[in-house]
């Protein structure tokens, strides 16, 4: 359960998030908005990595900074230094346990999750030697590794190929069945449009929050993106906005 109430946040006096409220209860939610609209900032606030200037955030009724441990998080930009020779195995193990010494069981778990993103062969490789898409899949695997109660992913698909993206989405849907909260930032909503329960349209403010069928319309997208957004309506009645899409 994630509850965000009237939250505002500024960097050096410039508002990045303005009076945003929404809640997520056993749902799969996507956040959409243009570059610089505060998506990553909002995610960092939910993670307790930033503290709201105004308003409050509760995760299962607790302050966000106390609950980070049971959230599987994938940042937009990995802060692992470029030349730091960390191995893929160590990155996944960081997700499995907080302890410095790993048990056989930890290693087994880590190998299993790496297998799920079809990157078993990279176990002993240096993280920085992988392609950008492979790095994203490793970070995705790390986020899922500790069987988190909440999954928060900031643009998890931006560099991955289509089959890998489909695989990642099916892994998320598996977790969703366990009744956990999933919050993801996406530029292109279409690959997950039929999987998500709700969309948050963000441009500093929450422009709209609700089911994709309810809120993905010209008016809301215009307000979010500041320009006309083309929409393709499919048979099931979903509106597919053509933003960040391969077709644009």
Spatial separation of the C-alpha atoms in residues 208 and 63, rounded to whole Å: 25
Q: Which does 41 bind (CB under 5 to 8 A by kind): Mg ion, ligand ATP, none?
A: ligand ATP
Query: How many residues touch Mg ion (CB under 5 A)?
Result: 3
Q: Are 234 and 180 in contact (CB under 8 A)?
A: no
Spatial separation of the C-alpha atoms in residues 129 and 245, rounded to whole Å: 28
CA dihedral 224, 230, 232, 236 (to 10 degrees): 20
Query: Residue 244, Cβ neighbours under 10 Å: how many?
Result: 16
Q: Which is nearer to Mg ion, 31 or 96 (CB)?
A: 31
Out of 8, 19, 23, 76, name the contact with Mg ion by CB under 5 A. 76
Q: Which residues contact 174 (CB under 8 A, 6 or more apart)?
A: none
Q: Which does 134 bind (CB under 5 to 8 A by kind): ligand ATP, Mg ion, none?
A: none
Q: Work out how close the CB of 184 gets to ligand ATP at its nearest, in angstroms, rounded to a whole number.
A: 12
DSSP letter at 216 equals -
40 binds ligand ATP (CB under 6 A): yes
Q: Work out how close the CB of 150 gets to ligand ATP at its nearest, in angstroms, rounded to a whole number.
A: 19
Query: How many residues touch ligand ATP (CB under 6 A)?
Result: 11
16 binds ligand ATP (CB under 6 A): yes
Label residue 141 exposed, middle or buried (CB < 10 Å: 0-12, 13-18, 19+): buried
Q: Are 19 and 53 in contact (CB under 8 A)?
A: no
Out of 38, 72, 95, 156, name the contact with ligand ATP by CB under 6 A. 38
x/- letters, 60..99, toward ligand ATP (CB under 6 A): ----------------x-----------------------
Q: Which is nearer to ligand ATP, 35 or 69 (CB)?
A: 35
Q: Work out how close the CB of 200 gets to ligand ATP at its nearest, in angstroms, rounded to a whole number.
A: 12
Q: Work out how close the CB of 34 gets to ligand ATP at its nearest, in angstroms, rounded to a whole number.
A: 7
Spatial separation of the C-alpha atoms in residues 183 and 28, rounded to whole Å: 6
Out of 39, 142, 146, 176, name the contact with ligand ATP by CB under 6 A. 39
Phi, psi dihedrals of residue 41, rounded to the nearest 5°: -60, -45
Where along the sequence are the contacts to Mg ion (CB under 5 A)?
A: 39-40, 76
């Amino acid at each position: 359960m994630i509850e965000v109430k009237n939250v505002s946040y500024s960097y050096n006096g410039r508002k990045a998030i303005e009076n945003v409220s929404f809640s997520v209860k056993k749902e799969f939610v996507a956040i959409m908005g243009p570059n610089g609209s505060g998506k990553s900032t909002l995610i960092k606030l939910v993670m307790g990595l930033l503290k709201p200037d105004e308003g409050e955030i509760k995760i299962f009724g607790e302050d966000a900074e106390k609950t980070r441990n049971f959230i599987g998080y994938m940042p937009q930009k990995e802060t692992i230094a470029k030349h730091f020779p960390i191995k893929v195995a160590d990155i996944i193990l960081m997700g499995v346990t907080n302890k410095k010494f790993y048990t056989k069981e930890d290693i087994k778990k880590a190998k299993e999750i790496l297998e799920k993103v079809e990157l078993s062969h990279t176990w002993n490789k240096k993280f920085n030697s992988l392609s950008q898409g492979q790095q994203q899949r490793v970070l995705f695997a790390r986020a899922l590794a500790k069987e988190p109660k909440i999954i928060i992913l900031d643009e998890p698909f931006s560099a991955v190929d289509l089959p890998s993206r489909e695989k990642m989405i099916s892994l998320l849907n598996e977790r969703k069945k366990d009744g956990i909260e999933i919050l993801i930032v996406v530029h292109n909503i279409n690959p997950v449009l039929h999987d998500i329960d709700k969309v948050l349209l963000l441009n500093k403010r929450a422009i709209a929050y609700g089911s994709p069928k309810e809120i993905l319309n010209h008016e809301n997208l215009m307000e979010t993106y500041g320009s006309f957004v083309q929409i393709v309506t499919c048979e099931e009645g979903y509106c597919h906005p053509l933003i960040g899409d391969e077709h644009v």
